[in-house]
Structure 1
Amino acid sequence: MRRKITSLLLGLGVVGGTLLAATGSAQGHGYTDSPVSRQQLCGNGTVRGCGQIQWEPPSVEGPKGFPARGPVDGTICAGGNGRFSELDDPRGGNWPATALTAGRNHTFVWRITARHATTDFRYYVTKDGWDPTKPLTRADLDPQPFLTVPFGGQRPGSTVTHTGVLPQKSGRHLILGVWSVADTGNAFYACSDVKF
């Protein structure tokens, strides 16, 4: 009897460990809270019809190396992750937009649920004339980030803030935040719709 109980407990441990391993990526990692990202708008219920991302706003993880590598055009806001394709849907250009003042300082805020060694945080903005009714492509973005915050491989806290000067833009735009992880092949992507 003792041998059967031990085998049962061992089997449950293996199954439990397998379940943990299989669901580990759903634990999430991080997203921008300021300006509010599309995944946060879905997670807090502001935007409906978001599919799985509503339960996993910190999980928009994809290949790092943006813009040379990373998610393919049209899948950037979802980090190339098909499970979160609702983030790439421009919704006719009607995502709620955060009001920002061009040329002013803004404090960017990331909520981190799994603290990874970090290379940097980078922020890109769409070019003037960008069409908000189409999925985001590299050609839509200014080629250089307007803000880069090096992290030197350190682990961030549960909330990361850094201040930078917003670009000189007017009208509706999209800010792409990319959090590059130092010790994996991935990065986290967050698209924030803004209005200057």
Structure 2
Amino acid sequence: MPIPVPSRRPGRFAAAALGLGVVAGLTLLSAPTASSHGYTDTPISRQKLCANKTVADCGPIQWEPQSVEGLKGFPAAGPADGHICSGGHSEFAQLDDPRGGAWPTTKVTGGQSYGFRWQFTANHSTTDFRYYVTKNGWDPTKPLTRAALESQPFLTVAYNGARPPMTTVHQGAMPSGKTGRHMILAVWTINDTGNAFYACSDVQF
């Protein structure tokens, strides 16, 4: 008659190692990714057009529209001219490509109240949001530069370190005196890091 073999329990060290493995696995699953931040979808930004597949050949930004993060301090600092829409990230260079001035536009009216909307995947402590618009006569077939933008934002919303809601709308007037195709640059400045987030939206006045 065969002798029954007693069941084995994992030793103290094996159990500890197993526990550590489970904790590590849970930590990896629950840790926020470095690319979790935010983007504008009203007026729709170039990164969101890529994420929606409205625009093709976008590269990796189509999977992480919230990740256009660059140095803060715009316009004195921040991404270099010609790389503003990508936040200075070479992997997001498709956002800087003017595509011959053929990016889809959102129709807007100068002087009218408008809700500028952000969607966040992580709502960081915030200094402010600033909205810039291109000058009359700018060339939409060239990458965005500081010289192409009005020197002052047409709308600034201060947060003084507060965290915005996960969906945030800033009500403000569209700039007056504009006709035809223009670009709105939204800059979200983070309070407790050296960075900001950038979103370029093509509009038609």
Whether these two folds match at TM > 0.5 is: yes
The Cα RMSD (Å) is 1.9
- Unmatched runs of 5 consecutive residues or more in structure 2: 1-10
| The one of 94, 109, 116 aligned to 2:117 | 109
Following the alignment from structure 1 to structure 2, what is the Cα–Cα distance between the partners of residues 64 and 153?
15
| The one of 165, 187, 192 aligned to 2:196 | 187
Matches within 5 A, 1:34-49: 34-49=42-57
Count, aligned residues: 194
Following the alignment from structure 1 to structure 2, what is the Cα–Cα distance between the partners of residues 130 and 2?
71
| The one of 180, 183, 193 aligned to 1:174 | 183
Structure 1's 46 and 115: CA in aligned 2 closer, same or farther, altered over 3 A? same
Q: Does 1:64 align with 2:38?
A: no
Bigger Rg over Cα? 2
State the identity as a percent.
61
Per-residue CA deviations over 1:3-40 (Å, capped at 9, x if unaligned) read 2453465467568867987x8223x2111111000000
Per-residue CA deviations over 1:77-128 (Å, capped at 9, x if unaligned) read 0111112111111111100000000111111101111010111100000111
Q: Secondary structure of the residue that 1:122 maps to in structure 2?
A: strand
Following the alignment from structure 1 to structure 2, what is the Cα–Cα distance between the partners of residues 44 and 133?
23
**2:119 partner letter:** R
Following the alignment from structure 1 to structure 2, what is the Cα–Cα distance between the partners of residues 173 and 52?
25
Following the alignment from structure 1 to structure 2, what is the Cα–Cα distance between the partners of residues 183 and 157?
17
TM-score (ref. length: structure 2): 0.88
Following the alignment from structure 1 to structure 2, what is the Cα–Cα distance between the partners of residues 164 and 90?
27
Q: Does 1:6 align with 2:54?
A: no
**2:189 partner letter:** S
Per-residue CA deviations over 1:151-191 (Å, capped at 9, x if unaligned) read 11100001111111111200100000000010111111000
Q: Secondary structure of the residue that 1:54 maps to in structure 2?
A: helix
Q: Does 1:30 align with 2:34?
A: no
TM-score (ref. length: structure 1): 0.91
